[in-house]
Amino acid sequence: MTGTETQSTDERDVNELDIAPENGWNALYLDGEWISDGNRDSIEVENPASRTTVTTVPSGTEDDVDEAYAVAAAAQEEWAERPPQERAAIVSEACELLGEYAADLETLFAVECGGVQLKAGFETQLAQGTMEVGAGLAMRDGGRRKDSVTPGKENLLVREPAGVVGVITPWNFPLYLSSRVVAPAIALGNSVVLKPDEHTPITGGLVLAKVFEEAGLPEGVLNVVPGYGHEIGDHFSGHDVPSVMSFTGSSEVGRGVGQRAVGSYTEPALELGGNNAHVVLEDADLERAIDAGAFGSFTHQGQECISINRHLVHESLYDEYVAGLADRAEQLPIGDPLKEGTLVGPVINESQRDKIVGFIEESVERGATVETGGDHDDLFVEPTVLSGVSNDMPAASNEHFGPVAPVIPFESDEEAIRIVNDTEYGLSGSVHSTDVARARDVADAMETGMVHINDQPLNDEPHVAFGGVNASGMGRYNDEWIMDTLTTLKWISIQREPREYPY
């Protein structure tokens, strides 16, 4: 079945839906079955550009969470016993299906999370990339042999699937941020229960259920329970069944998720907020730094944990940088994400808009100047450049998660480093200089999990470790690093020769 078929929703069973947005998605996915809403409440999925309802999906209950974990636990052992090449083949087939559904995904990203076509392409490619890398993990030898201090003993370290993996994902890059856990977890022999954000239940969860179902994944290995975080989130993250709890979202919520997981002896994997700095040293290539700064601040309306949150620019380049960045911001086309050429779409909802606009207004009250932007039309917030900013102003000290570029001057590399590190976060960042060794010195001094020299922080490669420090989370995603989280090392020793004991 392809996303271009025209059979109406009324004429087909819910289990036969393709992924086109007009086809409903009015179900959750449990034990290989598409379960309609029944007497459950509904979640209205709203198009942030038009403010119209795209569809409704059932709002999962605590009972649904219990059932999902139970069926996942029942399915996991048999799934882990499948040959690794079989598990890898199913993940690879799901990856291929995402490519076939690329046009429908582009529409879904637009109407569900306000993603423009450029962002849709990035996200689909990232999701496919993480599936490709994840599939490869199934065939990777995770065991090791270690010599023993005891004569005649052999030590083996054997990797086993962690078991059931709980996954909670956000609305900003919903398909990718779900895929980067779901795909490797399944390939490694785990089962999964996924709770996508209530704003993006389709691209964050139900799409993955559909493609894995089509790829032949056995019933119960992947279960998707959409629901409101304030209703089922605590129950989901504190449940006693999962062995791993993966959460991507705000630091405030993530702290609670981690505490509940640990309280249930569940290993947390947390990728949280950021206050990422784009540092432009006095010997930087100015145009290159401005290009990177515009991309890093305004892509997907700044709604990314690794977006540039602060621009730190040497005082000798400051005025030129501000003027150049403002010029780039003014030229960005704003509008409906479905329209060809649109580069800036809407922010996700009124709450996010009000927070972003509030940070701008409060910073202006404290002395910042709006060089361009600063206004909004419903959920469309103008790309905004602020000059005269200090690190303690609201737009710089908070993760604003919007198309806002506060520009802060500094006098020396040492001052820049001090400003960069004057935050509770430590996710990503970037440094620009024509002297790579100098940039490396600054990068080494930045208290953050990732730094990109002569680039910007919006970088994620599925085969490279991804994660932060401090309030930006714990653990690492991608490739062998997520493999460490999704598997358990068991020590098995074999005493090959009789051992002499002291009694």
Contact 311, 280 (CB under 8 A): yes
DSSP 8-state class, residue 469 = S
- Active-site residue (options: 198, 271, 382, 399): 271
- Active-site residue (options: 305, 371, 382, 399): 305
Cα of 171 vs its chain's centroid, Å? 9
Q: How many CA atoms lie within 13 A of 162 on its CB side?
A: 27
454: phi then psi, degrees, rounded to nearest 5: 55, 40
Q: Is residue 113 among the annotated active site residues?
A: no
Number of CB atoms found within 10 A of residue 467's CB:
22
Cα of 34 vs its chain's centroid, Å? 25
How many whole angstroms separate alpha carbon 96 and alpha carbon 62?
34
Q: Is 103 helix (H, G, I), strand (E, B) or coil?
A: helix
b/e string for 9-27 if b means 16 or more Cβ within 10 A? beeeeeeebbbbbebbbbb
Q: Residue 288 contacts by C-beta under 8 Å, 6 or more apart in sequence?
A: 432, 454
Q: Where are the alpha helices (DSSP H) in 138-250?
A: 174-187, 207-215, 234-237
Rg (CA), the chain: 24
The three-state DSSP-derived secondary structure of 79-91 is: HHHCCHHHHHHHH
- Take residue 149 and report the two structure tokens written for it: 């201090």
Contact 177, 169 (CB under 8 A): yes
In sequence order, what DSSP letters do the residues of 243-276 get, joined into one string?
SEEEEES-HHHHHHHHHHHHHTT-EEEEE----E
How many whole angstroms separate alpha carbon 407 and alpha carbon 375?
18
Number of CB atoms found within 10 A of residue 341's CB:
9
How many whole angstroms separate alpha carbon 345 and alpha carbon 377?
11
Apex CA 212: angle with CA 208 and CA 215, to 5°? Answer: 145
Q: Is residue 365 among the annotated active site residues?
A: no
- Take residue 226 and report the two structure tokens written for it: 């959409």
How many whole angstroms separate alpha carbon 473 and alpha carbon 306?
13
Contact 242, 257 (CB under 8 A): no
The three-state DSSP-derived secondary structure of 403-450 is: CEEEEEEECCHHHHHHHHHCCCCCCCEEEECCCHHHHHHHHHHCCCCC
How many whole angstroms separate alpha carbon 442 and alpha carbon 312?
12
Q: With residue 230 as reference, give the H or E element that holds it.
A: none
Known catalytic residues?
Answer: 271, 305
